[in-house]
Amino acid sequence: MSLIRRCSLVLAAIIAPPAFAHGEPAPQLGWTFDPWIVIPLLLVLAWFVAGHVRIVRRSSTHRHQRAKALLFGAGWLVMAGALVSPLHEAGERSFAAHMLEHELLMLVAAPLLVLSRPIGMGLWALPRTTRLRLAHWARGRGVSIPWRVMSSPIVATVVQAAVLWLWHAPDAFDLALAHRGWHVVQHVCFVVSALLFWWAMLVARPQRLGITVGCLFFTSVVSGALGALMALSRGPWYAGYSRLGLDAFGLSPAEDQQIAGLLMWVPGGLVHAAAGIALLARGLERQELKRSGLAGILVVLACLPALSRAETLYVSDEQAHVLHVIKAPDWTNIRTIPTGKRPRGLQLSSDGKSLFVAVSDDNRIDVVDVASGKVTGQLPSGPDPERFSLSPDGRWMYIANEDDAKVSFVDIAAKKIVAEVAVGAEPEGMATSPDGRWVICTSETASLVHFIDARDRVLVDSVMVGTRPRDAVFSRDGRWLWVSSEMRATVAVFDMATRRVLRTIDFDRADDAPMGVQAVGLALTPDYRRAFVALGRGNQVAEVEPQSGRILRYFPVGQRTWSIALSKDGKRLYAAAGLSGDVTVIDLEHNRPLATIRTGGKPWGVEVAK
């Protein structure tokens, strides 16, 4: 009997139970309503739906979440179908049906659920205090470091391969067949390892493409080898299925195992190989741009003497706890100003005499006297300040407090917090409209942009954007607001007349986007003719045409470029790179990198003074 015929018999037994084989009626296969399966499925669905409903009610626009909801729904339906439908009961009697169930869970449901990124949505189903505690707990080193290790492509690949091979060892598989509790544990191991694997492949965006592609092809070989061993084996491996005989499906235990091996060997190998080929093809297209950009650095260094206009750069270093002070055009003349612990956001006062610096780990704002180059005072900030913005008249400072999900209103002259406005979890980006009417805050965990009335100090609106919004910046006339979203690698352009997203610039879907692309720091020229976006671990800065949203070019910069700033005359752009410990100077007249300033440490923010 051909293998295709044998496969059809198994499927017929599942889909049409009354079929007969060897003169015996096929067993009736029913739906499985095991509480250990049904209750977790319903709880996960309720968790996601509750978060989705709450975020939709709080946000005035939610079209960006529809795709996530559809992906989650599709993944949940596949998982529920595999675990509750007659396929699950068929898996108790046929190894091939059992294998089909596992393949649906690991190759279809898991990547769909990962692409929906349900954790952020599900957090909104929880009370606000619980969300904040979880966000704070997840940011701790005891959680973030192990997660970073476990979700790395190599570790996730090894974990899934180990789970696959260990659970298909005869003793382990027979244990799962004989005991319902161990069967549940087996399914949990398969689903969790698959979710971890696909997260590392599809979401974590490792900097080197070769690692991801290599892991996908390795998984294709590893799972294919196990399937091939089963398909080519002449005798059954598992006593639990051997005892059944499987006469009802018209298959011997050996034939049933051969079909199961083919299901793991062919579909499993194809899915992983296809994903690897798709990522490799996309990455190869990006390499040409990267090579051409790096080659241009040697040419532009000859233009260094062309810089004659002096200006001062202030670069916050969150590792060394200092400000680097750099004088142009002599980029080697660097001195430092000691500050509080972990300086990040910084901004000059309206008169240019003071520089305000958010020192996150000391929970305050340091005030640096520009003339003397020393910290001469402090302002209260609330816990863990990261970014802030100033009112146009210089009287007020608006500070994002990550730990307590609030925006603090500080009277600079009085040196005190006079009001606080509650916002979403982990607020970061801050901006003030040129007319002083609006204070903008971005919430990383909630993926929201908050519009706060500066005069009445109340939250007026919250609008959903891409995952983990970072920076926010207004055009000089106040008509447009740009908001970057780090993990989704998008920039939302708001029309402030309606507070609605007019355009979304998607770097991740651009054909020539660099690997590991994110969207973090923003800069707009005063005439609104040029816009620049730091691409984080993409190690590039992109130029965008504001009117059309078209990506014009990329500038190669250091590793993990976080913040960017324009020179006062708009002829240069400065990009701070935290992992490579440097600042790249980009000549905007000739559109090429001009110099790399080595600072060491972890540069975070950049501010330019005359």
What is the identity of the amino acid at 233?
A: S
Q: Which two tokens stand for residue 117?
A: 């990124």
Q: Which two tokens stand for residue 22?
A: 């060897």
pLDDT for the residue numbered 7: 52
Q: Which of 40-54, 162-176, 238-252, 496-510 has the highest mean pLDDT?
A: 496-510
pLDDT at 382 exceeding the cut of 70:
yes
- Cα separation values, 491 from 19, 115, 223, 518, Å: 57, 19, 39, 10
pLDDT confidence bin for 557, thresholds 50/70/90: very high
Task: Say if residues 321 and 338 touch (Cβ distance below 8 Å).
Answer: yes
Provide the angle, in degrees to the nearest 10, between the axes of the packed helices 180-202 and 153-167: 150
Q: Quick check: bond before 329 cis, omega within 30?
A: yes
Compute how many other C-beta atoms are within 10 angstroms of the C-beta atom of residue 183.
19
pLDDT at 453 exceeding the cut of 90:
yes
Distance (Å, whole) CA 17 – CA 27: 6
Determine the 3-state secondary structure of 184 from DSSP.
Answer: helix
Distance (Å, whole) CA 592 – CA 585: 9
The residues facing 24 across adjacent strands are: 21
pLDDT confidence bin for 28, thresholds 50/70/90: low
Distance (Å, whole) CA 379 – CA 356: 9
pLDDT tens, position by position, 560-599: 898 999 998 889 999 999 989 999 999 999 998 888 899 9
pLDDT tens, position by position, 430-441: 999 999 999 999
Instruction: Give the contacts of 473 (CB within 8 A, at least 6 positions apart).
Output: 431, 481, 482, 522, 523, 524
Sheet holding 322-328, edge to edge: 334-338, 322-328, 311-317, 603-609
Stated as kind and residue range, the H or E segment containing 489 is none
pLDDT confidence bin for 132, thresholds 50/70/90: low
Determine the 3-state secondary structure of 269 from DSSP.
Answer: helix
Domain boundaries, the chain: 10-289
Distance (Å, whole) CA 453 – CA 521: 24
- Cα separation values, 552 from 2, 266, 492, 543, 546, Å: 57, 42, 17, 6, 10
User: Mean pLDDT lowest for which of 141-145, 284-288, 568-572?
Assistant: 284-288
Distance (Å, whole) CA 183 – CA 209: 36
Task: Say if residues 448 and 124 touch (Cβ distance below 8 Å).
Answer: no
Read off the pTM: 0.63
User: Mean pLDDT lowest for which of 65-79, 134-148, 206-220, 274-288?
Assistant: 274-288
pLDDT tens, position by position, 476-501: 999 999 999 998 899 999 999 999 99
Task: Say if residues 409 and 418 touch (Cβ distance below 8 Å).
Answer: yes
pLDDT for the residue numbered 546: 95
Whole-number percent of the chain with pLDDT over 90: 39
pLDDT for the residue numbered 101: 84
Give the mean pLDDT of the chain: 82
pLDDT confidence bin for 305, thresholds 50/70/90: very low
